[in-house]
Chain A
Amino acid sequence: MRKLLSTAALVLTASLSVAVTPVSAETGVTADTIRIGMFGPLTGPTAVGSLPLFGAAAVYKDVNAHGGINGRKIELFIEDDACDPNKTISATKKLIAQDQVFMVHGGWCSGTVMAIKPELARNPQLPYMVLGAASAAISTPVMPNLFHPIATTNTVTRTMLDFALSKPDTKRVAIISHSDEWGKSHINPLLEYMKTKGIEPVESVWLERGSTSATSQLLKLRNAKPDVVLAILYPPELTLYLRGADKYGIKAPTVTTQGVSIEDMVHRVGNPAATKDLFVFYPLSSTLDAPEFSKWVDMYRKYYPNEPVETLSFMGMTGALAIVEAIKRAGPDLTREKVIDELNKLRDFDPGLQSGPLTFTPEVHAGITSGKMIYWPKDHAEIVATYPVDR
């Protein structure tokens, strides 16, 4: 018994000689490096969300290739969260507590970003930039250290409805949506906006992720004879819908969110008749093949030559460019507080990548408030602001 107690005491005292945490001028910053932590779904069913991460990383790598910022190069720490909120929480904790990053830029699935908000609140000095998640609940109410450079679901749904109503004689609006968090984060602001316009949907159906057939939903929509269908679906289910709409003869145009890329959809559906009336919310400034956009495409291809080039690939770049700008403006004496300050002073920031300027104020951290629509009428993409009537 004595032996037992003394051994236990030994273990306890040995372990109480604690490891010392190193103290530095600012976490994640040395004389020549800045640590930026990133996370996104590199694997898993939503792995397409890794493309914006690669785009943002391409920006950082390009900055390094041109000498860094104020003499410092960016060191990236990339974590996979597979769109699982629990993985995201541990990834974020690792980046903050173990990798000791200066700031974090990440999050494609809205659920994962919502899940780490408490962690961000516990670290209010750490700047955090959303990578690609769009739910308006992320940035409303505003959090001092959370910045949202993506068109939120509020903006997206408002643009979608305005666009749909810009088609002459449009009265009957129908909706098909996922019922998960992503879907609901679009549906709720959409319905509210419709109410302000005095409209109600003539039919509203749910289609689950992973469905292999949408027959009952399509038939209900067809029966409702809509003038336009607002689709809040991810690419596989949108494909199912478009093919089915063509098959069952639903003639209404389809307006959808920024969760899909037009090139990808046209390729997947493989039937031009089914996609010629598809309008996708478009967050970028021009089509990917436009000459003014080539510098971004080249940048992406230089660092990620094996990854597909589509709209999603560029969605994270705006946030990265804003971060680089804020760090630059903060000067050589770099602190987290200064970067947050500089982000809060960002007005009409437009590096030529996105469809509208980015503005952050201390009260509003949802930086993008407009967007356009893109469609593929014949053999290439075209951007439109209102419904193209001369067709």
Chain B
Amino acid sequence: MDKSLPASTGPASRGPRVRYILVIILAALLALPPMVNDYQLFVANTMLVYCLVAVGLNMVLGYLGQLAFASAAFFGIGAYVAGLSMVHLGLGSLPAILAAAVCGGLAGALVGLPALRVRGYYLAIITLAFGELMRWLYVHADGVTFGSGGFNMPGIALFGSELSGTGKYYLFLAVVVIGVGASALLLHSRYGRAFVAVRNNEAAADSLGIAVNRTKIIAFAWSGLITALAGALYAILNGRVSPDTFGISQMLMHFVIVMIGGLGSLAGSVIGAVLLTGLPELLRNFPGLEEIVFSLLLIVVLFFMPKGVGGFLSSRLPWMRERLYREGRGNA
């Protein structure tokens, strides 16, 4: 029982304050580009991409509670589908992004299938293997994927004009707001509640009439969709897609972001993404320390803030609490 919940935190007292703060943040974000140089804008764009990644992974890891290591694979699928559809099929940027999202959703549903049979470490290993096999495919199907060197993205244009760093920023902001917003809506719907119910106790959820298998597939599919969307944006941001990007280190980065940010928390996802994308840039003058700092940070969070930075903040600031966020023992 969450004893620290004070009496008056119903939606009526929280709503306007949360909206207020979200609008302020949005206004600040909209006003950002003229104030920063090209490099800082690049970092900001990277943060936006990883916000989506964190939300996508959290869907399966935090809300559904499954130990799935497929996030880097979805990320890669999104990048490759977006890039290849632009290069081979001549799609424009928006259709390419859409195609990436759809393929990500399908891949997610596909990965969800073994999740119906296996759990825990078995699922972790099989999804990890899936990711590595995708990478092998990118390298060896080089007729289509351009092999180990990867390929450069064509110029990104929107409504006829080429996108600069600032243009990309606004595009990304729009996509991220839509993606996170849609995820929030999903989580507050009965599907989202079903995710958490399944995570907390599958048998009980089943007895309540929740279609457990369908719920899992939906969660995986949505996770794949969001993460692939992020992958498409990533390809557009970097201008280059290559297999090495989407391996185990990428996977671990995603995990660390979600663990530090907070499992099962949208705010946590954003916090984690911003923190861990900004940190390597701050550590530029100390080469070789990045791995050490990341791991120490993770250890500190695991010890002192098991709900992540997001969870820690929301226990201090009641208005930040998200209704679906619960301390879960989970089946992972």
- A–B interface present (Cβ within 8 A): yes
Residues of chain A within 8 A (CB-CB) of B43 are: 90
Residues of chain A within 8 A (CB-CB) of B23 are: 4, 8
Given the interface pairs A11-B28, A94-B39, A115-B242, the reply to whether A43 lies near B287 with Cβ below 8 Å is: yes
Instruction: Tell me the B35-83 residues at the A interface (CB within 8 Å).
Output: 35, 37-40, 42-43, 46
Residues of chain A within 8 A (CB-CB) of B181 are: none
Other-chain residue from B150, B280, B284, B287 in contact with A181 (beta carbon distance below 8 A) = B150
Residue of B nearest to A5 (CB): B23
Instruction: Tell me the B1-46 residues at the A interface (CB within 8 Å).
Output: 19-20, 23-24, 27-28, 30-32, 34-35, 37-40, 42-43, 46
Asked whether A180 lies within 8 Å of B148 as measured between CB atoms, the reply is yes
Residues of chain B within 8 A (CB-CB) of A118 are: 152-153, 239-240
Asked whether A90 lies within 8 Å of B281 as measured between CB atoms, the reply is yes
Other-chain residue from B24, B239, B288 in contact with A11 (beta carbon distance below 8 A) = B24
Asked whether A16 lies within 8 Å of B148 as measured between CB atoms, the reply is no
Residues of chain A within 8 A (CB-CB) of B213 are: none
Other-chain residue from A7, A11, A98 in contact with B39 (beta carbon distance below 8 A) = A98
Instruction: Tell me the A230-268 residues at the B interface (CB within 8 Å).
Output: none
Other-chain residue from A8, A82, A117, A183 in contact with B24 (beta carbon distance below 8 A) = A8
Residues of chain B within 8 A (CB-CB) of A114 are: 149-150, 152, 240
CA distance A82 to B249 in the complex (A): 13
Residues of chain B within 8 A (CB-CB) of A183 are: 148
Residues of chain A within 8 A (CB-CB) of B240 are: 85, 89, 114-115, 118
Is B328 at the interface (CB under 8 A from chain A)?
no
Residues of chain A within 8 A (CB-CB) of B24 are: 7-8, 11
Is B202 at the interface (CB under 8 A from chain A)?
no
Residue of A nearest to B237 (CB): A89
Given the interface pairs A85-B242, A181-B148, the reply to whether A96 lies near B38 with Cβ below 8 Å is: yes
Is B139 at the interface (CB under 8 A from chain A)?
yes
Distance (whole angstroms) from the CB of B44 to the closest CB of chain A: 11
Query: Chain A interface mostly helix, strand, loop or mixed?
Result: helix
Is A80 at the interface (CB under 8 A from chain B)?
yes
Is A125 at the interface (CB under 8 A from chain B)?
no
Residue of A nearest to B287 (CB): A80
Chain A contact-residue range equals 35 or more
Residues of chain A within 8 A (CB-CB) of B31 are: 11-12, 15-16
Interface centre among A12, A16, A94 (most CB of B within 10 A): A94
Distance (whole angstroms) from the CB of A62 to the closest CB of chain B: 23
Residues of chain B within 8 A (CB-CB) of A42 are: 287-288
Contact with B along A176-218 (1 / 0, CB 8 A): 0001110111000000000000000000000000000000000
Instruction: Tell me the A114-130 residues at the B interface (CB within 8 Å).
Output: 114-115, 117-119
Chain B contact-residue range equals 35 or more
Asked whether B242 lies within 8 Å of A97 as measured between CB atoms, the reply is no
Asked whether B42 lies within 8 Å of A90 as measured between CB atoms, the reply is yes
Residues of chain B within 8 A (CB-CB) of A377 are: none
Is B322 at the interface (CB under 8 A from chain A)?
no
CA distance A57 to B153 in the complex (A): 33
Residues of chain B within 8 A (CB-CB) of A65 are: none
Query: Chain B interface mostly helix, strand, loop or mixed?
Result: helix
Residues of chain B within 8 A (CB-CB) of A227 are: none
Is B245 at the interface (CB under 8 A from chain A)?
yes
Residues of chain B within 8 A (CB-CB) of A21 are: 37
Is A389 at the interface (CB under 8 A from chain B)?
no
Asked whether B150 lies within 8 Å of A111 as measured between CB atoms, the reply is yes
Asked whether A184 lies within 8 Å of B35 as measured between CB atoms, the reply is no
Is B147 at the interface (CB under 8 A from chain A)?
yes
Instruction: Tell me the B213-247 residues at the A interface (CB within 8 Å).
Output: 238-240, 242, 244-245
Interface centre among B34, B35, B149 (most CB of A within 10 A): B149
Asked whether B39 lies within 8 Å of A96 as measured between CB atoms, the reply is yes
Other-chain residue from A89, A97, A110, A137 in contact with B238 (beta carbon distance below 8 A) = A89
CA distance A7 to B26 in the complex (A): 12
Residues of chain B within 8 A (CB-CB) of A4 are: 19-20, 23
CA distance A137 to B147 in the complex (A): 14
CA distance A94 to B31 in the complex (A): 21
Asked whether B35 lies within 8 Å of A80 as measured between CB atoms, the reply is no
Asked whether B35 lies within 8 Å of A111 as measured between CB atoms, the reply is no
CA distance A33 to B287 in the complex (A): 25
CA distance A21 to B35 in the complex (A): 10
Is A79 at the interface (CB under 8 A from chain B)?
yes
Other-chain residue from B27, B139, B152 in contact with A179 (beta carbon distance below 8 A) = B139
Residue of A nearest to B25 (CB): A11
Is A72 at the interface (CB under 8 A from chain B)?
no
Residues of chain B within 8 A (CB-CB) of A97 are: 37-40
Residues of chain B within 8 A (CB-CB) of A84 are: 244
Asked whether B238 lies within 8 Å of A86 as measured between CB atoms, the reply is yes
Asked whether A179 lies within 8 Å of B239 as measured between CB atoms, the reply is no
Given the interface pairs A85-B240, A90-B42, A180-B148, the reply to whether A12 lies near B27 with Cβ below 8 Å is: yes
Is A93 at the interface (CB under 8 A from chain B)?
yes
Given the interface pairs A79-B284, A184-B149, the reply to whether A93 lies near B38 with Cβ below 8 Å is: yes
Given the interface pairs A11-B31, A85-B245, the reply to whether A98 lies near B40 with Cβ below 8 Å is: yes
Residues of chain A within 8 A (CB-CB) of B245 are: 85-86
Instruction: Tell me the A33-51 residues at the B interface (CB within 8 Å).
Output: 42-43
Residue of A nearest to B30 (CB): A12
Contact with B along A218-233 (1 / 0, CB 8 A): 0000000000000000
